[in-house]
Amino acid sequence: MKPFTTFIFLCTLCLPLFPQEIAARPRNVTKTIKQVCAHTAHKDLCVSTLAADPSSQQANQTGLALVALRVASTNASDITEHIKVSVTDMSLEPAVQQGLSDCMDNYVDAAEQLDDSVAALLAGAYHDLSTWVNVAIADANSCESSIKGLKTGMSKKNVLFQQLCENALAITKAVAGK
Ligand SMILES: *[C@@H]1O[C@H](CO)[C@@H](O)[C@H](O)[C@H]1NC(C)=O
Ligand SMILES: *[C@@H]1O[C@H](CO)[C@@H](O)[C@H](O)[C@H]1NC(C)=O
Ligand SMILES: *[C@@H]1O[C@H](CO)[C@@H](O)[C@H](O)[C@H]1NC(C)=O
């Protein structure tokens, strides 16, 4: 095949992939994202979650701290919704159902703590913020205790959620110079 023909042929192969490629393409990892994520313990998670949020593109460091808290809060709400659906499965053992129901209470609280933390950051109340984000982390620990030894699929979610909270806390601390 001539180079040009080959090119056209390859392009035809790629074509069906394109729309997904564009949808899945991460947004720009800005210099500010790199700066704030350098303070976190879970850097890859930090960069991917912040870059995925459209409002991160123009955000300064405080703006990114807000995004990080909102990402964690949204995750708590998503997890709550996920549990709400799973817990209705009548075939679950009572112990699992009880564990999941406890976890749901924990995540409802965690989402509230994180929403309050957003308000605290805007008010410059870093001490409150740190207290409340740590309560959210403790909520995930309580959930983990409630489902100990049970098959629920919650453990991975607890770990990831705590990492989101730890990242948000590290970013706000760096922003506040604490
Ligand atoms: C990413 O950066 C490029 C070049 O700076 C810019 O043109 C583009 O709009 C940015 N993309 C997003 C999603 O902001
Ligand atoms: C940084 O972003 C925050 C939140 O979006 C905004 O309130 C603040 O004025 C910005 N600070 C600077 C120095 O631009
Ligand atoms: C957040 O929560 C959902 C729902 O449980 C989970 O599947 C997802 O991977 C979590 N992580 C992020 C970064 O949103």
What global pTM score does this model have? 0.83
The domain locations on the chain are: 30-176
**Closest residue (by CA) to atom 2 of ligand 2?**
63
In order, the DSSP letters of 112-143 are HHHHHHHHHHHHT-HHHHHHHHHHHHHHHHHH
30-176 folds as: Butyryl-CoA Dehydrogenase, subunit A; domain 3 (1.20.140)
Among the listed residues 1, 129, 12, the one whose alpha carbon sits nearest the alpha carbon of residue 72: 129
Cα–Cα distance for residue pair 65/26, rounded to 1 Å: 19
Q: Are 178 and 142 in contact (CB under 8 A)?
A: no
Dihedral-angle region of residue 105 (phi above 0 means left; psi in -120 to 50 means alpha; beta otherwise) = alpha
Q: Give the ligand with the smallest distance to the CA of 57.
A: 1
Q: What pLDDT shows up at residue 27?
A: 77
End-to-end CA distance of the chain: 64
Q: What percent of the chain has pLDDT above 70? A: 85
Task: Kindly list the protein residues whose Cβ atom lies closer than 6 A to any atom of ligand 3.
Answer: 49, 75, 78-79, 82, 157, 160
Whole-number percent of the chain with pLDDT over 90: 81
> How do residues 152-165 score in pLDDT, each as one tens digit?
999 999 999 999 99
